[in-house]
Chains A and B, each alone.
Chain A
Amino acid sequence: GNSVTQMEGPVTLSEEAFLTINCTYTATGYPSLFWYVQYPGEGLQLLLKATKADDKGSNKGFEATYRKETTSFHLEKGSVQVSDSAVYFCALMTGFQKLVFGTGTRLLVSP
């Protein structure tokens, strides 16, 4: 079946450090790929997405590239801020519009 694997957290960084959160997937066909972010006490909101191979999604300084050959969609940011502290979920969507999520990675950024 379809699945998403994310690196376990928490990821602890100092402000202005470089961030990578790894995500790999297993899916039949050609899924769309997403990163969602969840701030404390809130629901999830879309951070970025990519719908086909080699697409790069970007938003708020975050980037991720859809790599079909390695079935990966790693999230990166060049310089994190304290306000980026949240839980990040990688997800894929296949037919019938079902979103499948990874387990989430908590990011903690200290001043």
Chain B
Amino acid sequence: NAGVTQTPKFQVLKTGQSMTLQCAQDMNHNSMYWYRQDPGMGLRLIYYSASEGTTDKGEVPNGYNVSRLNKREFSLRLESAAPSQTSVYFCASSAGDLAGTEAFFGQGTRLTVV
């Protein structure tokens, strides 16, 4: 019963390096999301995908790109990491077809950019 799986759990990058955060869900959900969590800021939406083949910007998309590879997988890429991207990143998914549909979250990726 995996739910939403994120990899890696921890990562340290140097400024300017690139990396991809992976996310997969096994609940056959249509919608997937990437959030970042910063102290005192709550969770802010980076990108979301309402269905396979579509992606849209959220509140804080600058410096990130996403790929909805298939219905299960939604990756987040940092092309040139900056210290301001130090954060905890959460992937989430939901069925997305009814009002009030619950979102399920992964365990998070703690990213530090030095």
Contact = CB atoms under 8 A, between A and B. Distances in A.
A102 to B, nearest CB: 5
Given A103-B40, A103-B41, A97 B31 contact: yes
B80 interface: no
Nearest to B44: A101
A12 to B, nearest CB: 18
Interface residues of A, number: 22
B74 interface: no
Per DSSP, chain B at the interface is strand
Given A43-B105, A43-B108, A45-B105, A32 B99 contact: yes
Contact of A43 (B44, B102, B107): B107
Nearest to A44: B105
A100 B40 contact: no
B25 interface: no
Interface of A: 4, 32, 34, 42-46, 49-51, 89, 93, 96-104
6 contacts: A4-B42, A44-B92, A44-B105, A97-B101, A99-B45, A103-B41
